[in-house]
Amino acid sequence: MDTPPRSSRILAVVARLLQAFLRRYARGEAGAAAPFLVGARLLDLGAGEGYVAVALRDQAGLWVCSVDVGPFRKADGPYVVYDGARLPFCAGPFDTTLILLTLHHCARPEAVLDEALRVTRRRLIVMESVYRTGLERFWLELLDGRLNRYRHDGRMDAPLAFRRPEEWGRMFESRGLRVVETRWLGSWWERLVHHPLLFVLDKEWTSDFLGERHGSRRHLGTTGWRVKPQCAR
């Protein structure tokens, strides 16, 4: 049997290490998002390999439908591929939609956000790699491009739209979203070069529905519904 060339063996090792890193990172993302999830019907938009859904299932017994623009799944669970423009769901089947490290990879992030809003009843949880200085932007462009080019068998879209925290904030506010919480994530060593920021966003009517404006906020929990949504129609 022929031995594969050395360069292929090195690439295979890099790919395995990257997948181990991504699984571990996804567990951190799931842990950061978990306290803010509402409802039992969850969507992970721009799910990549689908590791966040697995982490949420293992950590909290949650059911998550993953969606991405290609068949990039490396974990089990429901996974839907769409065209990047129109999600194959009716309006509002999901209680919470996660959009983690994804908007800056989208050709039209505003349109992706609008689709997320259409299919979500209550809450969006967005995590974005942001920059505040030229140096932070330099590291983002260098590392995001380098790391992600090994994902999806080399088919991962290049990062397109890094923004400052306030630029994302304006985009969310222009859609009538209410920022419930923002939180810096990442260990101290990650924060040397990468600055992930978590936005917890409610559709305005949701806050009224939850009674927040009247000082009696109810967290509806994560196990209120037993019925799983239809993942794709």
Ligand X SMILES: C[S@@+](CC[C@H](N)C(=O)[O-])C[C@H]1O[C@@H](n2cnc3c(N)ncnc32)[C@H](O)[C@@H]1O
> Rounded to the nearest whole angstrom, what is the least distance from the CB of residue 29 to ligand X in the complex?
5
**What stretches of the chain show up as alpha helix (H) in DSSP?**
6-33, 51-60, 109-119, 134-148, 165-174, 204-210
| Helix (H) or strand (E) run with residue 125 in it | strand 120-129
Query: Of 69 and 210, which CB lies nearer to ligand X in the complex structure?
Result: 69
Indicate which single residue of 112, 200, 210, 231 sits in contact with ligand X (rule: CB under 6 A).
112
Query: Of 38 and 47, which CB lies nearer to ligand X in the complex structure?
Result: 47
| Helix (H) or strand (E) run with residue 196 in it | strand 196-203
Query: What whole-number distance in Å separates Cα of residue 82 and Cα of residue 142?
Result: 28
* Contact (CB, 8 A) for 113 and 176: no
Count of residues interacting with ligand X (CB under 6 A): 20
> Rounded to the nearest whole angstrom, what is the least distance from the CB of residue 141 to ligand X in the complex?
14
Q: x-or-dash pattern for ligand X, window 154-193, by CB under 6 A?
A: --xx------------------------------------
Query: Of 29 and 95, which CB lies nearer to ligand X in the complex structure?
Result: 29
Query: Of 96 and 148, which CB lies nearer to ligand X in the complex structure?
Result: 148
Query: Of 160 and 192, which CB lies nearer to ligand X in the complex structure?
Result: 160
Please give the structure tokens belonging to residue 223: 């196990």
Sheet containing 120-129, strands listed edge to edge, beginning at the edge strand earlier in sequence: 79-81, 64-68, 42-45, 94-100, 120-129, 196-203, 177-184
* Contact (CB, 8 A) for 38 and 122: yes
Q: Is 95 in the site for ligand X (CB under 6 A)?
A: no
> Rounded to the nearest whole angstrom, what is the least distance from the CB of residue 212 to ligand X in the complex?
28
Span of 6-14, 95-103, 180-188, 199-207 interacting with ligand X by CB under 6 A: 95-103
Helix, strand, coil percentages in the chain from 3-state DSSP, rounded to 5:
40, 20, 40
Query: What whole-number distance in Å separates Cα of residue 87 and Cα of residue 101?
Result: 18
What is residue 72's DSSP assignment? Answer: -
Indicate which single residue of 73, 105, 123, 195 sits in contact with ligand X (rule: CB under 6 A).
105
Q: x-or-dash pattern for ligand X, window 39-68, by CB under 6 A?
A: ------xxxx---x---------------x
Query: What whole-number distance in Å separates Cα of residue 63 and Cα of residue 41?
Result: 7
Q: Which residue is nearest to ligand X (CB)?
A: 48
Residues interacting with ligand X, by CB under 6 A? 26, 29, 45-48, 52, 68-69, 72, 84, 100-102, 105-106, 112, 148, 156-157
